[in-house]
Amino acid sequence: MNDRNDSSSNSLWTFLNQISAPILAGISLISGVYGFVKLFVDKDAGLVTLISLAIGVLLLLGICLYYARFWKPEKQDRGRSAFEPLSDEHVKAQAKKERQRKRVRRSAVAGLILIPILSFSGVVGWQYFQSLPAKDIIVLVAEFDGPDPKTYGVTEKVINQLRQATKNYADVKVEALNKSITEQEGSKIARTVGEKRKATIVIWGWYRNPGEVVPLSVNFEVLRSPKDLPELGQTAKGNIQQAAIADLKSFTLQTRLSNEMSYLSLFTLGMARRAAGDWEGAIARFSDALSQKTASSSSLNQSLVYFYRGSAYLLKGDSDRALADLNQAIKRQPNFAEAHAIRVIVYVAKGDYNRALADANLAIKLKPDMALAYDNRGLIYLTTGDYDRAIADFNQTLKLLPAADHASDSIHADGSQLGTLKLNDSGVSVVNFALSEVSDYLVYNNLGTAYYAKNDFDRALEALDQAIKLQPDRAFAYFNRASVYFSQKNYDYALSDLNQTLKVQPDLALAYLKRASVYYIGKGDSDRALADLNQAIKLQPSSALLHTMRGEIYSDISDYDRALLNYDQALKLQPNDAEIYHDRGLTYAKKGDYDRAIADYNRALKLKPGYAKAYNSRGVSYKRKGDFDRAIADYDQAIKLKPDEAGAYNNRGFAYAEKGNFDRALADINQALKLSPNEATIYDSRGFAYARKGNYGRAITDYNQALKLKPDADYAYYHRGMAYRKQGSKAQAIADFKRTLELTQDPKKRQDTEKQLQELDRS
C-alpha cells in the first residue's frame, strides 16, 4: 500500500516537474510581450509596465539558463535502465529523447543569446519611437484644478470647444489628460507630461472659489513652437485673472476661456502650417482663429493674426486679400512696423510705388534697426530704377543683420521670402522681398542685381559670388550670375551657372528660358534653345513670356506658322501686351503680309501710344508696300520719341534713297553710323544709297564693311551682287548671289536671287 502511494507521489512530482518549466516560460513570455506592447501603445505606461517587462525577461533568461546548464534528465534514465531490459523499442525511444533534449538545450542557448539582444533592441526601438514627433498635432488638456469641477465643467467646456473648433482638421487631436496639473507642479511638470504624450500644446490651469471673486490661472504651453510664433501675453502664462462668481455659475467664464484657448490653439496651428509652406492650411486656421469671439483677447492681439494671414495670402499670390488683412493689422496696431514693411510688397506688386515707399519709410522711422525694412525699401528703389539708393539700402541692411543671420538663409525653406522678376536692359534677374526675416544671402543677391542693372558687372559678380559662397545650395544667385555673364557675352560661364541653377532647382522655368537665350544667341543652337523653351512651357504653360520667346526663335528660323501660333497663344494669356502685338507684326512682315503686320502695329500703338519701336516697324512695312511718305512719317515719329535710336535714322535714310532723295538719305544714314558705328545693316543701307546714286565703287566698299562686321549677312551679299552686276562684274555678281542662296532661308529673297542668276546666265 505504501509502495503504491510512493509511486503515485513520484509520478505526480515528475509530471509537475515536466510542466512547470513550460508554464513558467509561457508566463514569462506573456509578461515580457505585455510589457513591450504597453510601452509602445500606452502613453501613460510607467513603473508597473517596466517591472512587468523586467520580470518577464529575467524569468525567460532564468529558464533558458536552467535548460542550457542545469537540466539533467539523463540521470533519471540511467536509474531506471539498470532494472529494465534493453529492447529495440526502448533504444529507439531513448534515441528520440536524446534528439529532443539536444533541441531543447540548443534552443535554451539560443535564448540566452537572443533574449538580451531582442530586449536591448526593443528598448532602443522604444526610445527611438519615443523621440519621433507625433504624426498628428496633439492638444493636451489637463483637468482644471478647482472646487467642484463636475458642477462647473471648466475642463469639459474647453475640450468640447477645442474639438468643435478643430473638427475640420484631421491632423489635430484634442486629448484629455484626465488629471490636473497643480500650481505647485507648475510648467515644468506640464511640459514633461506633454513631451511624454508628444503634445504640441498643453493647456492647464486652476481656479478658486473663495467668495464673490474667482481667481483664475490659465497656462497655454507650446512645446513644439512653430517658426516666428510671437510671445503670448501674460494671461496665457498663468497670470492670475479675476472673474465674478456669477460668471462661473452662469458658464460665462467657461465660454470665454474655451474661446480663448481655441483662438490661441488655432493661431498656433496656423503658424505651424505657415512654417511648412502650406499657405492654404495656414489661411484656413488663421480664419478659424479670427472666428472665435475673442476681440478683447489680451493674450494675442488680433493684429498679429491678420498680419500672418496677410503674409500667407501674399505668398499664395492673392495681393488683394493680403492688402485687406495688412490694412486690418495696421488699423488695430498703427505702429506695427513689420506690417508696414510687408505692405510694401503688396503696393509694389500693384505698381503703387509711392505708397510702397511711404510704408517703407514709416517702418524705418518706427523701427530704425529693422533690416527687413531697409531691404524692402532697397527693392522699391531697384524696381523704380534708382539703383544708387537701392545699393545704399542693401549695404545698410547688411550692417544691421545680426551675426547669427550671416550663416543662414531661408529662401524656399520656410517661405519667408517672395521671389520676383526684375526686367532691365541687360535682361531678366531675380530679386527677393523679405516677408519675415532677411539673410545676407538674400541681400547680396539683391545687391548683385542692383549692380547688374547699373551695368556695373564687376561689382555685380563680386556680390553674387559672396551670395553663392554663403549658400551654394540656393538657385537664384547662380541664375543672376549667369545673367551677368550673358550680358558680358561670356556664354560658357553663363551656361555653367544655369546648369548649376537647374541642378539645385530643376523646376525653375526661368532658368530654362535664360539657358535657351544662351543656346540661341550665344551658341546659335536653335534646337537646344527650343528644347529648353518646351521644358519651360511644360513647367509654366501660362507664361506669355515663354510663348513669346519661342515665337521669336521660330520667326528667326523662318518657321513663321509656328511663330504665329506661339504669339497667338501669348496674346490669349496676355491680351493687352503691346510688345507681343509688335513681335507678331514683325513675323507677318517677314511673311510678306504687310497689311496684317500694320494692323498689329496699330494695336500695339493703341495700347502703348509712345511706343517708338512700333512706329519704326510700321514704317518698314509701309516702305515695303511702296508707301514711302507714310514710312517716313512713322520714322519721324520714332525719332521724335527716341532721338538716339540709330535704326530709325537708318530706315528713314533707306526710304529717302528709295524716293531718290540721296542727300537726305546719306545724312540720315551717317547719323545712324555716329550712333551705332559697328552695325552691319547701316553700312548695307549706305551702300544701297550709293548704289542708287550710281556710285557702285563706294557702295561695294560699304558692303565689304558690312560683311566684315557680319560675315553671314545674306542681305549684304545680295546687294553687293547687284552692285557688281550694275558695274559689269558678272563673275563676282554670280559668286555673291550663290553665297546669298547658301545663307538665306527667306523664300522671297531666294526667289529674287534665283531670278538674278537666271538673268545673268542668259546674258
Least confident window among 72-81, 296-305, 483-492 = 72-81
Which grid cell is 605?
A: 500703338
Binning pLDDT at 50, 70 and 90, where does residue 8 land? Answer: very low
Per the DSSP assignment, residues forming a β-bridge with 221 are 202
- Would 252 be classed as within a structural domain? yes
Q: What is the pLDDT of residue 422?
A: 44
Least confident window among 420-424, 437-441, 619-623 = 420-424
- Higher-scoring residue by pLDDT: 320, 763: 320
Residues 190 and 113 in one domain: no
Residues 191 and 283 in one domain: yes
Least confident window among 52-56, 484-488, 508-512, 601-605 = 52-56
Least confident window among 65-69, 261-265, 395-399, 543-547 = 65-69
Residues 45 and 186 in one domain: no
- Would 144 be classed as within a structural domain? yes
* Ramachandran angles phi, psi of 170, nearest 5°: -65, -20
Element spanning 422, H or E = strand 417-424
The 10s digit of each residue's pLDDT in 168-178 is 888 889 989 88
CA dist 331 and 456 (Å) reads 42
Give the number of domains in the chain. Answer: 3
Q: What is the pLDDT of residue 47?
A: 57
Residues 96 and 161 in one domain: no
Residues 110 and 175 in one domain: no
Residue 687 belongs to domain with CATH number: 1.25.40.10
> Which of 703, 603, 556, 665 lies closest to 617, judged by CA?
603
Reply yes or no on whether the pLDDT at 12 is more than 50.
Answer: no
Q: What is the pLDDT of residue 232?
A: 78
Binning pLDDT at 50, 70 and 90, where does residue 186 land? Answer: confident
- Higher-scoring residue by pLDDT: 412, 395: 395
Q: What is the pLDDT of residue 629?
A: 95
Residue 189 belongs to domain with CATH number: 3.40.50
Reply yes or no on whether the pLDDT at 137 is more than 70.
Answer: yes
The 10s digit of each residue's pLDDT in 212-254 is 777 778 888 888 778 778 887 776 776 666 655 655 555 566 7
- Would 496 be classed as within a structural domain? no
Q: Are 588 and 597 in contact (CB under 8 A)?
A: yes
Q: What is the pLDDT of residue 35?
A: 57
**Residue ending a domain, choose from 280, 300, 320:** 300
Q: What is the pLDDT of residue 292?
A: 86
The 10s digit of each residue's pLDDT in 700-744 is 999 999 999 999 999 999 999 999 999 999 999 999 999 999 998
Residues 142 and 240 in one domain: yes
Residues 77 and 26 in one domain: yes
Q: What is the pLDDT of residue 425?
A: 42
> Which of 202, 209, 203 lies closest to 151, judged by CA?
209
Q: What is the pLDDT of residue 246?
A: 56
**Residue ending a domain, choose from 255, 274, 300:** 300
Residues 228 and 286 in one domain: yes
Q: Are 357 and 380 in contact (CB under 8 A)?
A: yes
The 10s digit of each residue's pLDDT in 351-373 is 899 999 999 999 999 999 999 99
Q: Are 380 and 356 in contact (CB under 8 A)?
A: yes
Binning pLDDT at 50, 70 and 90, where does residue 751 land? Answer: very high
**3-state DSSP assignment of residue 582:** helix
**Residue ending a domain, choose from 131, 163, 196:** 131
Q: What is the pLDDT of residue 525?
A: 95
Reply yes or no on whether the pLDDT at 635 is more than 50.
Answer: yes
Looking at mean pLDDT, say which of 4-13, 35-44, 178-187, 430-439 comes out highest: 178-187
Reply yes or no on whether the pLDDT at 79 is more than 80.
Answer: no
The 10s digit of each residue's pLDDT in 314-359 is 888 899 999 999 999 999 999 999 999 999 989 988 889 999 999 9
The 10s digit of each residue's pLDDT in 504-559 is 999 999 999 999 999 999 999 999 999 999 999 999 999 999 999 999 999 999 89
Binning pLDDT at 50, 70 and 90, where does residue 300 land? Answer: confident
> Which of 183, 267, 178, 247 lies closest to 219, judged by CA?
183
- Would 231 be classed as within a structural domain? yes
Residues 144 and 293 in one domain: yes
Say how many C-beta atoms besides its own lie within 10 A of residue 44's C-beta: 12
Q: What is the pLDDT of residue 242?
A: 62
Residues 75 and 137 in one domain: no
Task: Note the pTM of the prediction, 2 decimals.
Answer: 0.69
- Would 250 be classed as within a structural domain? yes
Residues 41 and 70 in one domain: yes
Least confident window among 266-280, 576-590, 630-644 = 266-280
Q: What is the pLDDT of residue 129?
A: 58
- Would 62 be classed as within a structural domain? yes
Q: Which residue has cell 559670388? A: 465
> Which of 460, 423, 424, 466 lies closest to 442, judged by CA?
466
Q: Are 405 and 369 in contact (CB under 8 A)?
A: no
Mapping DSSP onto H, E and C, the string for 161-227 reads: HHHHHCCCCCCEEEEEEEEECCCCCHHHHHHHHHHHCCCCEEEEEEECCCCCEEEEEEEEEECCCCC
Across all residues in the chain, what is the average pLDDT?
84
- Would 41 be classed as within a structural domain? yes
- Would 711 be classed as within a structural domain? yes
Proportion of the chain above pLDDT 70, given as a percent: 81
Average pLDDT over residues 609-617: 96
Reply yes or no on whether the pLDDT at 83 is more than 80.
Answer: no
**Crossing angle of helices 544-556 and 560-573, rounded to 10°:** 160
Cα 238 to Cα 206, 218, 224, 508: the distances in Å are 9, 5, 19, 49
Reply yes or no on whether the pLDDT at 130 is more than 60.
Answer: no
Average pLDDT over residues 197-206: 86
DSSP 538-576: HH-TT-HHHHHHHHHHHHHTT-HHHHHHHHHHHHHH-TT
Residues 251 and 240 in one domain: yes
Least confident window among 71-75, 599-603, 620-624, 639-643 = 71-75
Reply yes or no on whether the pLDDT at 592 is more than 70.
Answer: yes
Q: What is the pLDDT of residue 66?
A: 74
Task: Identify the domain containing residue 732 by its residue range.
Answer: 679-763
Average pLDDT over residues 112-126: 74
Q: What is the pLDDT of residue 38?
A: 57
Per the DSSP assignment, residues forming a β-bridge with 204 are 219
Binning pLDDT at 50, 70 and 90, where does residue 411 land? Answer: very low
Least confident window among 160-169, 338-347, 424-433, 746-755 = 424-433
Residue 388 Cα to chain centre, angstroms: 30
Q: How many residues does the chain have?
A: 763
- Higher-scoring residue by pLDDT: 311, 72: 311
Reply yes or no on whether the pLDDT at 68 is more than 90.
Answer: no
Per the DSSP assignment, residues forming a β-bridge with 105 are none
Reply yes or no on whether the pLDDT at 45 is more than 70.
Answer: no
Proportion of the chain above pLDDT 90, given as a percent: 52
Q: What is the pLDDT of residue 25?
A: 58
* Ramachandran angles phi, psi of 148, nearest 5°: 50, 60
